[in-house]
Amino acid sequence: MSKIEGPLQKRVASQKELTKEIRENADNSEWEKLRTNLVDLSDNTDNLFEIMDEHKKVSVNILNLFEAVLKKLENVVALSVYRDFISFFVEEIEKKLGNEVWVVVRSAINRKRKFKKMNFKKDEIEFISKLEKTLSSVKMSVEEFELLMNLKTKSNAEFHKSEDQDPKIVKQQLETTLPDELQDFKNR
C-alpha cells in the first residue's frame, strides 16, 4: 500500500460513515450531533482534497520522470542507428590510412575534443593531412569527421553509460531502481 493509498482509504471510509451518521441524525432531528457531523465532514473533505493534491503532485512527478526516461531512451535508440554507420565508415577510413597513421589521427582527434583545443599539435599535422586527403575522396572535411567521431563518442557514452562506474554505486542503483517484481534477481 502506498503512502497515499492508506490515508485515502481511511478518509473515504470516514466520509461514508459521516454521511450515514448525518442521515440518521437528520432523520432523528438530533441537530447538535448533525452540526458536529457536518463540521467533521468538512474537515474530512479538506483532508481528502489535501490527499488528492499530494496524489496529483506525485503523479506529475512520475509523468515528468517517465518523459525524461523516454526521451533518453529515444536518444539512445536514435544514436545507436548512427553509431553503426559511423563505425563502418571509421573502419574504412582506418583501413585506408593504415594502423600507424590511424592511431595518431584518432589520438589527435580525441585529445582535441577532450581538452577542447581549437587546433592540432604541430607533430600531428602530417597525419591529419593524410586524413584530409583520404576524406576528400568522399567530399568530407576533417571538421566533419571530427563531428562524426564526437557523435559516435556521445552515442557510446549513452549506450554504455555505466561501464566505468564503481560496482558499489551500480549495486546501489540497482537496489533503488529495480521494480519490486524484479528485486529477487538482484542477488543472483
Q: What is the pLDDT of residues 74-105, one digit of tens each?
A: 776 766 777 778 889 999 999 999 999 999 99
pTM of the model: 0.48
DSSP-H helix ranges across the chain:
5-27, 31-97, 99-114, 122-136, 142-159, 167-177
Cα 87 from Cα 162, distance rounded (Å): 21
- Give pLDDT, residue 90: 92
**C-alpha cell recorded at residue 103:** 592511431
What is the per-residue pLDDT across 148-160, written as a single tens digit (0 to 9) for each? 888 887 777 766 6
